[in-house]
Structure 1
């Protein structure tokens, strides 16, 4: 007959083995699939009728975004980050911070 605490999803601590060390088993394995909008840019070139009035050749305004959107069921910070540059540890999440989101505004001006 099962007593309280006998049925659990938490492994017991033992004096043998590695006590469910993360590198040696699938206890913490989860689906790392994701969809990400990695980069997007939007630009607009002002018409020559506008730029000629201020004696400019060409003016292009733009906005560039990186890491704008991420859809995943992964519970970690970022399914794409890795704690190591080595090929043997790819996919091992060692609390690496997620990739930063960035937005840049700019202008290309020709005289």
Structure 2
């Protein structure tokens, strides 16, 4: 499966580079067409990468925060409480990342 994903990623990269080269060297209708196709392929790549990263993040989050639920079956109420409790560190991590990237929570 990894080789298939790698091959698709390489084909997508080659197609994007071809679109960029066509866009730089041509004029008129072909330039616009290559730009639109290149942007579409870039969004497909970004979406695919996002899906893969989110899939991995969900498995890591499950392992660290809810993995113990596999071994015992608590009531539904406790599952809901533990789920909301596990969102507190996630909010803290995402908030710190946003602040480090320049977001000012007090600036409106």
- State the TM-score, normalizing by the size of structure 1: 0.23
Larger radius of gyration: 1
Which structure is richer in relative contact order (CA contacts within 8 A, separation 6 or more)? 1
Whichever structure has more helix as a proportion of its residues is 2
